[in-house]
A and B are shown apart, each in its own frame.
Chain A
């Protein structure tokens, strides 16, 4: 039997099928982070990637007795809402939003966060490109003709 692991990309088009969802927590995370009606903050994320890493941690001691397939999440969020805020403040914004899901018995056990502003994301993207280009140039120097 194939086991389907929920990845950020696979959830497209699934947000309206909450009733029979096999990934209620992931759905809740997505709904809350994309909602424009949050009391705390509307993230209006430019990028939102949700990775369910639970299968990587299923054998951990702390997970003994847990039947949930949604215990470990990794989020990448790019949002203007993070502008002029230090990282701890950004993480707290996300934690506050997901307080219930994290407090839930058998709910989210671990939440890895990568919180960027659009400018930071752009800067990192450029830097990565430059490094890749540099590495490529070193590995394959232009033929001297």
Chain B
């Protein structure tokens, strides 16, 4: 059902600027940022380029999931759970985009700071951060997620499914 969900073109469009100008994220510490005492987490400073690339990614669809792996082949159980929930909720594939953080180290580090959220997956709806896997699960169970998706009109309405065949 999510065969068309990864808008790879969009991903490229949104994130290529950051990856091609990777010089802003030097592997070695720049002379202006000598941070031998800081932890890896603190040393990650979100560059403007990465931030605007993530801005674009977040805005690329009404429902955006940052995950490990792809919707077809999630690389992590929590990302898989998130995808399954979106599937159960009947999120319209045309309103959905997924970004694989494993494909892009900058995205992987950047999204954590961008969202002020240290774990993957992360769901955005209408550019607003909704939560991680645990929050999706509890919102799914409580019905809050269905309400949210309905309000945002991102679910496939029953009877409008393209692949549906009349029952025989």
Report the bound CA distance from A143 to B122 in whole Å: 52
**How many chain B residues touch the partner (CB < 8 A)?**
22
Residues of B contacting A87 with CB < 8 Å? 131, 135, 138-139
Knowing A61-B75, A87-B135, A110-B78 are in contact, say whether A102-B118 is a contact too (CB < 8 A). yes
Digitize B115-152: 1 where CB-to-A-CB distance is under 8 Å, 0 elsewhere: 01111000000000111111100110000000000000
Q: Cβ of B132 and Cβ of A91 under 8 Å apart?
A: yes
Report the bound CA distance from A103 to B76 in whole Å: 19
> Taking the nearest CB of chain B, how far is it from the CB of A22, in angstroms?
24
15 interchain pairs, CB-CB under 8 A: A62-B76, A87-B131, A88-B129, A92-B116, A92-B117, A102-B41, A103-B40, A103-B118, A110-B78, A110-B119, A111-B118, A111-B119, A112-B78, A113-B134, A114-B134
Q: Does A12 have its Cβ within 8 Å of any Cβ on chain B? A: no
Report the bound CA distance from A103 to B41 in whole Å: 5
Interface residues of B (CB under 8 A from A): 39-42, 68, 75-78, 116-119, 129-135, 138-139
Report the bound CA distance from A104 to B118 in whole Å: 12
Report the bound CA distance from A110 to B132 in whole Å: 11
Report the bound CA distance from A57 to B80 in whole Å: 14
- Other-chain contact of B134, A61, A91, A103 (Cβ < 8 Å): A91
Knowing A62-B76, A88-B135 are in contact, say whether A99-B41 is a contact too (CB < 8 A). yes
Q: Cβ of A95 and Cβ of B118 under 8 Å apart?
A: yes
Report the bound CA distance from A131 to B14 in whole Å: 48
Digitize A80-93: 1 where CB-to-B-CB distance is under 8 Å, 0 elsewhere: 00000001100110
Q: What is the predominant secondary structure among interface residues of chain B facing chain A?
A: mixed
Report the bound CA distance from A88 to B42 in whole Å: 21
Residues of B contacting A110 with CB < 8 Å? 78, 119
Residues of B contacting A111 with CB < 8 Å? 118-119
Report the bound CA distance from A8 to B75 in whole Å: 28
Residues of A contacting B138 with CB < 8 Å? 87, 114
- Other-chain contact of B130, A57, A88, A95, A114 (Cβ < 8 Å): A88
Report the bound CA distance from A88 to B116 in whole Å: 10
Q: Does A145 have its Cβ within 8 Å of any Cβ on chain B? A: no
